[in-house]
Chains A and B, each alone.
Chain A
């Protein structure tokens, strides 16, 4: 009997904590789907509406912002996967002059977020003529220290015998990387890709600095328009815009959450 009561209490407490945890998000959903007069008032029978989404969609070119964010995360991820794979493979499997210094240089990036270097990076991008371009937004992030470190650790766990067997079968070095190392590190790639996409979809400061037109501005920067005082404080529209911005990631998470969590469990990030 007491075990059953304990189980019941556990479940109730979990539900309460769960609701409390999701409350800001639930609040955003509530406000976005209800008229403005219910934005700070909870009434179960309040009428539902999509007008806030219409207003938010009309107030900013969201379709373009979505495309820009998609291009941005795709460019960054593609660059990271290529650069990090090649560098991690070299660090994990080869001995070459300056290896230690090069690895320390890469790892120092972990200590310092690129955001604090925005002033100088802005000047560099201006010299390259990359201001207000997707490449300008993406370049500072393509040589990810986290990615190189993570993949290097994963590559170091690949049995040497597999590499030797592939070599006997006639694989060259890059063939071994492509056919042996990359497939075996798949969970790490998936976990890393999800973290990277999530981070860069959400990135705000650098894109804010380096973009100045609708043609390149990503969603997060577009969303900041709603936070400015000259827009007035209409929380219903703000939260509708907020949901529009984070919606794709949330939907993707709903669809892929099993694979996502399994990848993290298998990746063994340490």
Chain B
């Protein structure tokens, strides 16, 4: 950025009280309803019921739920990856597609699940993907499937399908928005030089929208990590996700220590993912 523009962007030096007053309501809310409970849950994760320091909560969390922790990471990573690939495909088709009716249809259709609550999406999928749900019944009635060989998807596959179905519109909307605002001259130049649509997408379009894609994926990752309704409703079986285990420890045993340890593990995972976003945001948007 040229120096004179940097000067223009420089923060105004004014009263010190005014900006503090402007920030105070938000900061107070963050301190009371985020920083304090976060610190408290961190402390609770590291002490026993008598208040003595211990790693027992983490031992218990890993002893009982290490499979679920791995399962959660795999499910959410897989869903995030699928959301990313499909969002690029949708955005790419909307930007580079040459068949106007197909582009119009895709544009109209892909956004709908954005407005469906997770609990409703889980409800839809629970009844749709069941062994005797509409999907299998339709395939059977079409003669594409033998009634004896129907398989339900109410397991990890159902969770991934629901997550992808629910989160894809949000990321695709961000990505297609970023793609639509790109300078078309580079795309047209590549086209004139004979580059195919896939090559233009992978080598020209995706690198330019990567920051937006990352924002969408990380927000989706964090959101999916915290969803309780989908794993409970779509897959009642074990292994399950960390959120279900937390609810189980609290509801069945009143074990807040292990629940907080699981919470700590959960936000360590989301924190690692979100740090990438923050690092990029701070680097790209100037120092905070």
Contacts and interface: CB of A to CB of B under 8 A. Distances in A.
B156 to A, nearest CB: 18
A269 interface: yes
B212 to A, nearest CB: 5
A93 B22 CA distance: 11
Given A14-B99, A242-B124, A265-B180, A143 B243 contact: no
Contact of B115 (A108, A156, A198): A198
Interface string B80-117: 00000000000000000111011101101111111111
B200 to A, nearest CB: 17
A114 B44 CA distance: 17
Interface residues of B, number: 105
Contact of B30 (A105, A246, A250): A105
B222 interface: yes
A107 B178 CA distance: 23
B128 A116 contact: no
B112 A227 contact: no
Interface centre among B20, B102, B170, B174 (most CB of A within 10 A): B102
Nearest to A125: B33
A83 B29 contact: yes
A14 B101 contact: yes
A223 B119 contact: yes
Interface in A111-164: 111-117, 119-121, 123-124, 139-140, 142-143, 146, 148-149, 152-153, 156, 159-161, 163
Contacts of B49: none
Contacts of B9: 156, 160
A40 B263 CA distance: 39
A173 interface: yes
Contacts of B288: 91, 99-100, 103-104, 107
B189 interface: no
Contact of B99 (A7, A95, A106, A142): A7
Contact of A270 (B38, B135, B212): B212
A91 to B, nearest CB: 7
A182 to B, nearest CB: 13
A86 interface: yes
Nearest to B101: A11
A40 B137 contact: yes
B215 interface: yes
Interface in B106-164: 106, 108-121, 123-128, 132-135, 137-138, 141
B281 A265 contact: no
Q: Majority SS of interface residues in chain A?
A: helix
Nearest to A157: B9
B101 A270 contact: no
Given A23-B128, A115-B228, A41 B141 contact: yes
Interface residues of A, number: 104
Nearest to B11: A95
B239 interface: no
Nearest to A86: B22
A261 B278 CA distance: 25
11 contacts: A25-B116, A82-B25, A94-B12, A95-B12, A103-B288, A143-B29, A146-B219, A153-B285, A204-B117, A253-B111, A261-B111
Interface of A: 6-7, 10-11, 13-15, 17-18, 21-25, 27-28, 30-31, 39-42, 82-84, 86-87, 89-97, 99-100, 102-117, 119-121, 123-124, 139-140, 142-143, 146, 148-149, 152-153, 156, 159-161, 163, 173, 195, 198, 201-205, 220, 223-224, 226-227, 235, 238-239, 242, 245-246, 249-250, 252-253, 257, 261, 264-265, 267-270
Given A148-B26, A161-B8, A269-B215, 15 more contacts: A6-B99, A10-B97, A10-B99, A14-B102, A100-B287, A112-B267, A115-B226, A124-B36, A146-B219, A149-B281, A159-B8, A173-B18, A202-B117, A205-B243, A253-B111
Which 8 pairs across A and B sit closest by C-beta, in order of nearness? A120-B37, A202-B117, A14-B102, A111-B274, A113-B226, A94-B19, A103-B288, A87-B26
